Amino acid sequence: MRYIGKKIPKVDGIELVKGTPAYTSDFDTNNNSLIIKILRSPHPSAKIIDIDTTEAEAMGGVECVLTHKNVTDIKFTLAGQSYPEPSPYDRSLLSDTMRYVGDEVAVVAAVDEQTALKAIKTINVKYEILEPVLDLETAVDNSNLVHTQEPHVNFDIGCDHKRNIASTFYKENGDVEAELKKCDLIIERSYKTQAQAHAMMETYRATASIDVNGRLNIMSSTQIPFHVRRHLSRILGIPKSKIKIIKPRLGGGFGGKQTASVEMFPAMVTWLTKKPSKIVYTRQETFSCTTSRHAMKFTVRLGSDKQGNIKVVDISALSDTGAYGEHAATVFFVTGHKTLPLYGRANASRYHGYAVYTNKMPAGALRGYGATQGTFALESAMNELASEIGMDPAELRLKNIIRVGDSHPDLDGNILQSSALDRCIETGKEMIGWDEKYPAVFLSDSKVRGYGMAVTMQGSGIAGIDTATAVLKMNDDGFFTLIHSASDMGQGSDTALVQIAAEILDVDMDRVIVVSNDLDTVPYDPGAYASSGVYVTGNAVIEAAKEMKKQILETASRLLNVEEKELEYDGGNVSGADKSISLDELAQKLCSFEGKDQLIAKGTFGGDTSPPPFIAGFAEVEVDIGTGKCEVTDFVAVADCGTVINENLARIQLEGGIAMGIGLGLYEDVVYSKTGRMVTDSFMTYKIPSRMDIANIRTAFESSDEPTGPFGAKSIGEVVNNTPPPAIAHAVYNATGLWITDLPITPEKVLMGLISK
């Protein structure tokens, strides 16, 4: 292999570090754009009785004031999902009902920021303040309703707004209750995971203008450009052909930009005023007026025999989707779907519960997409079971994990075709020194190092739903343009896809340039989510490159007058029967009367399986018994993402994901005041791991060969988030004897636990 499996620098890495313009605001340099600011609800639940915007409208420099009174009341979802979306259409552009602190009351566009902010202050709103629903656990059948009208749903997702239920799910494989009766040992435990902020470094932003063809141009930092266009078409009531979307590089997304939180505002302002406009969310708005990870609550029951053979995995859950139901049903479903198969050898398994509405900021997609939450619950319970049985938790895993050839109803495609999870566990044990150090090493009277572990899986793309196409075009001196639409938010999809194309075409990587930013040009791709880039779009690129090779041979055969089967292509030349033509000559001939053709190849892929990548994570946590402070002094993560396409890209996904998982385990928490206002709306109050908090992250790859993957590859983008919280909780237990069952694991919780012990 020339490129696959190598450490290849990102195609745009050098220029990004040098600060070369690449992001939405870097291209949006129209200093005459209207600036958009939003008046937001100070109440978690309220009805607008009266709203007076006369003063704002009369103000010099104000060009547009929108409220529920003068915009469409069409209902929609902002979730970035293939149509028909499995999310309720429960929101409108601007409504008279406020469902969380931060919900949009009015939109003002003015010649500059100061004027827009001043105008907003003059808007008078009279609210009828309603009793909010702020607690996940009392939301169902609460007398207060977040939504009083029935939202439209495209599927039966078990939405019951009269009970504050956005989605209901129940799936049982085998007979859980009957199998439990046969078990020697049953443990039942409850866990809680908190809401987490994406905290991508580039805040949400979008800009709009009208072009010379009268089309609405939107440039946005989005993971889901095609879905954005579809949503805008519905909201504005104009055909998709009237909307052009440009998607530059993203300064991080992590799933946040899989919900179209901001595009509709400049789109509406510009469509109405015909003037360019832009919106750039402040960090505060990014924290408090977009989406977060779903907070969840779990009860896990595990049943096993005395030897530690798991017979039953039974999980019930409640998920907090906040004010709107974007991704409510799917995140809920994925939580079980991407955890139960881990112990697919059990006789019975079940996952069920509700995603509920509350008067908090909506939850949405965040790297891991429910699997992160589910992994904390399931893996913590597994660790508790191991300690009840008195078995090494690594042994318990090795005894029970799903193996190649095993099947499980929640595995798309049913049979597991690749896994190196057993080797991931063995390698991880060795790297962390498990056999010597587990369960704990006592450093002094006050300092103990505990060791803990967890395993996890995710998917690669959405089986049976998502599909992507890639196009390859040969240019006039024989270099290629790869045209695709997987959004590069840093994960390096542009690089990995060029590698794949260059590998098949057997050309230097710099002979393949990449276009991925303009929806008028690129073929359909659902977007950067569900860990699809390399697996779904990568497979499409393979098809396109094979087709291109075929076209090259056909053309050479015609031009050389040699039968195709006698010809051989080596990346530079096509030769046979003592004749030869270089790609360069071939391409130039095609631009002449003699050749008269252009080579354009396409490839499409949609998976009917979603092969799981796996990770075994091992944490070394130093606990200060006096203060309860926990520090992850070492974290070892060993991943099976099939064939590693590019070690540089895979490794930073792994390292970065582990750091984000450490954040979820120890620090990060979206907190609301008693009155429903989000308190953690800045980097001062919401702590993401800083350089000082990350001591050591060590990674390794154990490859497997996934038969359906491009060159045997599976995904890596999301699975990386999942192991730290349960592995850290396990290490804390081994250091202190305390099971911390609700995240994050703060010094207060540890100290209080130690005191009450």
Binding string to another protein for residues 20 to 49, with x set by CB under 8 A, is what?
xxxx-xx--x-x------------------
Binding string to ligand FES for residues 146 to 185, with x set by CB under 6 A, is what?
----------------------------------------
Distance of closest approach, residue 191 Cβ to ligand FES, in angstroms: 30
Measure the CA dihedral 732/733/739/742, to 10°.
Answer: 20
Binding string to another protein for residues 176 to 205, with x set by CB under 8 A, is what?
----------------------xxxxxx--
What is the maximum alpha-carbon separation in the chain?
88
Q: Residue 529 or 605: which CB sits closer to ligand FES?
A: 529
Q: Which residues pair with 649 in a beta bridge?
A: none
Distance of closest approach, residue 6 Cβ to another protein, in angstroms: 11
Q: Residue 692 or 755: which CB sits closer to another protein?
A: 692
The binder of another protein chosen from 492, 576, 617, 628 (CB under 8 A):
492
Structure tokens at 540: 């499409």
Q: Residue 429 or 651: which CB sits closer to ligand FES?
A: 651
Q: Residue 272 or 509: which CB sits closer to another protein?
A: 509
Q: Compute the distance between CA of residue 74 and CA of residue 92 in angstroms, rounded to an integer.
A: 6
Tokens 């010597």 correspond to: 436
Q: Residue 412 or 488: which CB sits closer to ligand FES?
A: 488
| Binding to another protein, residues 77-136 (CB under 8 A) | 114
Distance of closest approach, residue 489 Cβ to ligand FES, in angstroms: 9
Q: Residue 114 or 149: which CB sits closer to another protein?
A: 114
C-alpha separations of 600 from 481, 514, 609 in Å: 9, 14, 29
Size of the site for another protein (CB under 8 A): 62
Q: Which stretch binds another protein (CB under 8 A): 13-21, 83-91, 161-169, 406-414?
A: 13-21
451 contact, one of ligand FES, another protein, none, CB 5-8 Å limit per kind: none
Which of 255, 399, 278 lies closest to 331 in space, CA to CA? 255
Per-position b or e across 69-97, b if 16+ CB within 10 A of its CB = eebeeebbbbbbbbeebbbbbbbbbbbbb
Q: Residue 457 or 658: which CB sits closer to another protein?
A: 658
Which of 533, 651, 646, 642 lies closest to 250 in space, CA to CA? 533
446 contact, one of ligand FES, another protein, none, CB 5-8 Å limit per kind: none
Strand duo 468-474 + 630-640: pairing: unpaired
Collapsing DSSP to helix, strand or coil, 597 comes out as coil
Q: Compute the distance between CA of residue 317 and CA of residue 382 in angstroms, rounded to an integer.
A: 17
Distance of closest approach, residue 607 Cβ to ligand FES, in angstroms: 28
DSSP for 66-82 reads: E-TTTS----B--B--P
Q: Residue 114 or 675: which CB sits closer to another protein?
A: 114
Q: Residue 54 or 682: which CB sits closer to another protein?
A: 682
| Binding to another protein, residues 471-490 (CB under 8 A) | 489-490
Q: Which stretch binds another protein (CB under 8 A): 121-129, 530-538, 658-666, 739-747?
A: 658-666
| Binding to another protein, residues 262-321 (CB under 8 A) | 282-284
254 contact, one of ligand FES, another protein, none, CB 5-8 Å limit per kind: another protein
Using CB atoms within 10 Å of the CB of residue 604, give its burial: 0 to 12 exposed, 13 to 18 middle, 19+ buried.
Answer: middle
Instruction: State how far Cα 580 lies from the chain centre.
Output: 48
Binding string to ligand FES for residues 198 to 227, with x set by CB under 6 A, is what?
---x--------------------------
Q: Compute the distance between CA of residue 259 and CA of residue 278 in angstroms, rounded to an integer.
A: 18
Structure tokens at 320: 């907090």
The binder of another protein chosen from 106, 545, 658, 729 (CB under 8 A):
658
Using CB atoms within 10 Å of the CB of residue 624, give its burial: 0 to 12 exposed, 13 to 18 middle, 19+ buried.
Answer: middle
| Binding to another protein, residues 671-690 (CB under 8 A) | 682-684, 688-690
Distance of closest approach, residue 26 Cβ to ligand FES, in angstroms: 15
The binder of another protein chosen from 3, 10, 81, 544 (CB under 8 A):
10
Our finding on whether 14 is near ligand FES (CB under 6 A) is no
Distance of closest approach, residue 582 Cβ to another protein, in angstroms: 31
Q: Residue 336 or 490: which CB sits closer to ligand FES?
A: 490
Q: Residue 198 or 301: which CB sits closer to ligand FES?
A: 198
Distance of closest approach, residue 154 Cβ to another protein, in angstroms: 32
Instruction: State how far Cα 85 lies from the chain centre.
Output: 16
538 contact, one of another protein, ligand FES, none, CB 5-8 Å limit per kind: none
Q: Which stretch binds another protein (CB under 8 A): 138-146, 165-173, 238-246, 648-656?
A: 648-656
- Secondary structure letter of residue 340 according to DSSP: G
Q: Residue 43 or 367: which CB sits closer to another protein?
A: 367
Strand duo 62-66 + 630-640: pairing: unpaired
Query: Nearest 5°: phi and psi at 575?
Result: -135, 155
End-to-end CA distance of the chain: 58
Our finding on whether 17 is near another protein (CB under 8 A) is yes
Our finding on whether 431 is near another protein (CB under 8 A) is no
Query: Nearest 5°: phi and psi at 188?
Result: -130, 125
Q: Compute the distance between CA of residue 69 and CA of residue 86 in angstroms, rounded to an integer.
A: 29
Structure tokens at 52: 């007076």
Distance of closest approach, residue 288 Cβ to another protein, in angstroms: 12
List of residues 6+ apart from 746 with CB closer than 8 A: 628, 666
Using CB atoms within 10 Å of the CB of residue 57, give its burial: 0 to 12 exposed, 13 to 18 middle, 19+ buried.
Answer: middle
On whether the CB atoms of residues 544 and 602 are closer than 8 A, the answer is: yes
684 contact, one of another protein, ligand FES, none, CB 5-8 Å limit per kind: another protein
Q: Residue 693 or 742: which CB sits closer to another protein?
A: 693
Q: Residue 109 or 662: which CB sits closer to another protein?
A: 662
Our finding on whether 252 is near ligand FES (CB under 6 A) is yes
Give the nearest residue (CB) to ligand FES.
Answer: 201
Instruction: Report the side by side order of strands in the sheet with 600-605.
Output: 512-515, 480-483, 468-474, 600-605
Structure tokens at 167: 């989605």
Q: Which stretch binds another protein (CB under 8 A): 369-377, 479-487, 570-578, 652-660?
A: 652-660
The binder of another protein chosen from 172, 426, 647, 742 (CB under 8 A):
647
Q: Residue 8 or 463: which CB sits closer to another protein?
A: 8
List of residues 6+ apart from 267 with CB closer than 8 A: 206, 208, 216, 218, 232, 235, 236, 243
Q: Compute the distance between CA of residue 195 and CA of residue 47 in angstroms, rounded to an integer.
A: 26
| Binding to ligand FES, residues 460-499 (CB under 6 A) | 490
Structure tokens at 620: 């070394």
Q: Residue 496 or 505: which CB sits closer to another protein?
A: 496
Q: Which residues pair with 301 in a beta bridge?
A: 188, 314
∠ CA(376), CA(377), CA(380), 5° rounding? 75
Structure tokens at 434: 């498990």
Our finding on whether 404 is near ligand FES (CB under 6 A) is no
731 contact, one of another protein, ligand FES, none, CB 5-8 Å limit per kind: none
List of residues 6+ apart from 225 with CB closer than 8 A: 245, 247, 485, 487, 519, 527
DSSP for 628-642 reads: --EEEEEEEEEEE-B
- Residues of this chain that interact with ligand FES (CB under 6 A) are 201, 252, 490
- Residues of this chain that interact with another protein (CB under 8 A) are 7, 9-10, 12-23, 25-26, 29, 31, 114, 198-203, 249-254, 282-284, 489-492, 646-649, 651-652, 655-660, 682-684, 688-692, 694, 696-697
